[in-house]
Structure 1
């Protein structure tokens, strides 16, 4: 039996390398036999240049993952003894997306006109690929983006070296600088791809301070989903309707967020909450909710907040988007002990039809939840530090806190949230307009920074606004009220009393 030839011993090797080593676009079209977009062609062409430095800020569905997979194959297949390093903060996600694309490309190559090369490569489960017979000197390797792995990659040198950092906006400046500084040879290349989630850091600098437009060496691209043939009209419309202005920049247009978007909503929007009036008709099937954030009641800074509201709808955009009317705020104090809260909120909901109680179950709130349940009331326990349940929200938000706070802010901006009492207006507007917002991790998920972090700018616990945001939790389901019951009568009575108080205020 004849010995199998090594890759470089195959008589077709030199002609193959000569044809494709300088052209990853041609490699995609002829070796993988695929169609590529103008955006992908621009990216591949840029990376092909010697000592290229390429940075791509990308929206959804621009074919970024395919482009990276094609470059990995082009680099290893066409450059003898080449090293390719892939890095990201989330290695599990990298294996689930990019390495899946690399495996699919392997099969496309096998079925294509140059299928003979496929048998000379093997892809391993540990996130590596190597050339058979040259395993120690010719390979692709994945490493999590940290100081240790960066130093290891920077310590390896080769004439043909390509480093690719995915979701680069989430990688520390120290790691990025270490990798960039190690690429000293003529054919050493560096590619960064990411959604542009923040206006700081190395990735941001490659599009600004050290980009070619500023006299630097980084070629910066902004890939909009609208320019991609891989984003359908239906998807584009859904994204545009769902996202706020900042998300549209980051997730669709491939642009960095605006400096003014560091908060969920502005003070102007917060003040407008008091101008809406009724936004739920009396003949609509709304439900009642009593929402409460719990404090200890021992004179500390945190306060217990109780909010009573009408609620209707389940979506976050479109005709079924959730609408909320805050009717009354019966309690906002740090002078009620937590063991007295359950009887209080139960009494507040006694005359409301089919009322649902929503209570923060963290800390002392767990005891309040147990007391409400023991009284056979319908209760939603709030543990909003956990991930979302709905797939679309899990991809969009870090946890339930971010989901509820962001969707409450969206409702405020879109006129779907109205506050019908002036009680504690100053606190409500201050808290609601100062909730910080960031993008983080793979997929550019929205998150609320930890309380007490610099982004909060000294704001304490937003107890009152928290209680309002509970009403927008994805897992809060209401029961339609019976319209001929006490709920409507109580609502009308509250309105009449408020009007009478205003009418005779000067006589009191």
Structure 2
């Protein structure tokens, strides 16, 4: 990334520099086109027009693929080269984010510069892992990659310069305390600050720059929204794919650049849950048995639960998405003897032909699973849902498997793919409503669903959602089931059904 060539004269003394600075210092779009070779979109042009203003404060709420990161790379390079002794801080929740995204775009721009009429300017720039500087002025004329770790706002303190710029990427994930430090450093007339992020939450400083701190409410911040649907960089095929993949709320955030409007912080409401009561979601479809098991901690706080499920379809969205019918909850107890519970699960798995038995493999579940193994319980699968997702599209949407499963359950309820038989409702209906409507969540800085942990829920006074856990297990990626003889609707034998299911799963993994 280093050129190896050291210019004879410092940049500020190069006779070409004064002319170049006059040409581009107040015209960022021209710099992007003529120096970096960028074909500027209307969204990028709007950002550049506001960013180039003296003392600018700009905040961009953006969907996927709008060129936001490319724009940040160009702005960083523009500020570095066009303003003598300038300081630029590129800030993100983690340092790897800056290196892999904004600094990568700077490197690409430098490569373009070296192939054009401004190759001489590129030779004055040295790009390192965590910094970019003008040769001969490393301490006073540079771009620095900085992180904004939670609870350590002092990490961003100490920046002051006549020409100072803060570029904050994934700004929705940065704590407000960090913004207090950064805005406190903007003491000079030509100090700038530009924020960009997917709009993942409706609280915090980034949210406020689009609301009460915006110029339209008497504040200092100019808010921009980059809708992926309106970007020439985003294909219609991509938009169509994401409409299927994302929930309505996530699509608004990750594609349309809109802040979430759900204010209570919970995944689903009581009306939506009650709509699943008595609903038949299988009809004449093929189905198989799943036996999800949640093992209580043995401290009378968590319950042990065995749920009997009929499953049909595969995948989390689309025409053949997974459908779940809750048939029975034969065990729900916080006092049951673990040995007795093991025997009941084993017996039920044999009673339900070809049932897939899913056991939460954590805490007491480790021992429970091994006991079932020793009893030769068929089709036994571990649930380790604290792990990250495996599939790329799920990694993009969920911070871990638990979030993936629970959010997918709630989506199935909303889409009418989840039903609970009346006999279950008669016994546990109100508890089910209580558990499902008290699943708190956030979005992380990448707009991924982050369902609160059980420890966090206890801190909020919310009991363990033990029934909901068993409802969610079948929605975990990678969970399979075998079409039951009684559940075959079209005459295919079980082997054919399993091959079909495997083909669907394999295709999903490749994409």
**TM-score exceeds 0.5:** yes
Equivalences, count: 481
Report deviation, 1:368.
Answer: 1.0
Partner of 2:93: 89
Q: Are residues 148 and 444 of structure 1, via their aligned partners in 2, closer, same or farther at CA, if it must alter by over 3 Å?
A: closer
Report deviation, 1:53.
Answer: 0.7
Paired residues for 1:244-263 under 5 Å: 244-260=247-263, 262-263=265-266
Partner of 1:216: 219
What CA distance in whole angstroms lies between the structure 1 residues aligned with 2:108 and 2:6? Answer: 30
Report deviation, 1:270.
Answer: 0.7
Q: Structure 1 residue 331 and structure 2 residue 331: aligned? A: yes
In the alignment, is the contact (CA less than 8 A) between 1:436 and 1:448 conserved in 2? Answer: yes
What CA distance in whole angstroms lies between the structure 1 residues aligned with 2:159 and 2:183? Answer: 13
Structure 1, 461-470 or 199-208: larger mean CA deviation: 199-208
Unaligned runs of 5+ in 1: 486-508
In the alignment, is the contact (CA less than 8 A) between 2:227 and 2:256 conserved in 1? Answer: yes
Q: Structure 1 residue 4 and structure 2 residue 5: aligned? A: no
Q: Structure 1 residue 178 and structure 2 residue 181: aligned? A: yes
Unaligned runs of 5+ in 2: 489-511
Partner of 1:289: 290
In the alignment, is the contact (CA less than 8 A) between 2:281 and 2:416 conserved in 1? Answer: no
Partner of 1:30: 34
Report deviation, 1:281.
Answer: 2.1
Paired residues for 1:162-177 under 5 Å: 162-177=165-180
Select the residue among 134, 139, 162 that pairs with 1:136: 139
Select the residue among 429, 432, 449 that pairs with 2:433: 429
Q: Deviation digits for residues 230-286 of structure 1, max 9, x if unmatched?
A: 11111111112222222122111211111346211111111111142242525x2x2
Q: Deviation digits for residues 60-91 of structure 1, max 9, x if unmatched?
A: 11110011001011001111111110111121
Q: Deviation digits for residues 276-316 of structure 1, max 9, x if unmatched?
A: 2242525x2x2211101111456x13111111111122211
Q: Normalised by the size of structure 2, how large is the TM-score? A: 0.90
In the alignment, is the contact (CA less than 8 A) between 1:274 and 1:418 conserved in 2? Answer: yes
Partner of 2:500: none
Paired residues for 1:69-218 under 5 Å: 69-125=73-129, 127-146=130-149, 150-151=153-154, 153-218=156-221
In the alignment, is the contact (CA less than 8 A) between 1:262 and 1:436 conserved in 2? Answer: yes
What CA distance in whole angstroms lies between the structure 1 residues aligned with 2:282 and 2:115? Answer: 60
Q: Are residues 322 and 119 of structure 1, via their aligned partners in 2, closer, same or farther at CA, if it must alter by over 3 Å?
A: same
What CA distance in whole angstroms lies between the structure 2 residues aligned with 1:290 and 1:338? Answer: 17
- Tell me the secondary structure at the aligned position of residue 197 of structure 1: coil
In the alignment, is the contact (CA less than 8 A) between 1:354 and 1:482 conserved in 2? Answer: no
Report deviation, 1:457.
Answer: 4.9
Paired residues for 1:466-477 under 5 Å: 466-477=469-480
Q: Normalised by the size of structure 1, how large is the TM-score? A: 0.90
Partner of 2:420: 419
Report deviation, 1:115.
Answer: 1.9
Report deviation, 1:148.
Answer: 8.9
Aligned Cα root-mean-square deviation (Å): 2.1
Report deviation, 1:152.
Answer: 5.8
Q: Are residues 484 and 208 of structure 1, via their aligned partners in 2, closer, same or farther at CA, if it must alter by over 3 Å?
A: closer
Partner of 1:399: 400
Select the residue among 5, 8, 15 that pairs with 2:19: 15
Partner of 2:499: none
Report deviation, 1:4.
Answer: 2.4
What CA distance in whole angstroms lies between the structure 1 residues aligned with 2:363 and 2:441? Answer: 24
What CA distance in whole angstroms lies between the structure 2 residues aligned with 1:449 and 1:165? Answer: 26
Q: Are residues 22 and 243 of structure 1, via their aligned partners in 2, closer, same or farther at CA, if it must alter by over 3 Å?
A: same
Q: Are residues 167 and 2 of structure 1, via their aligned partners in 2, closer, same or farther at CA, if it must alter by over 3 Å?
A: closer
Q: Structure 1 residue 50 and structure 2 residue 54: aligned? A: yes
Q: Are residues 261 and 222 of structure 1, via their aligned partners in 2, closer, same or farther at CA, if it must alter by over 3 Å?
A: farther
What CA distance in whole angstroms lies between the structure 1 residues aligned with 2:289 and 2:393? Answer: 26
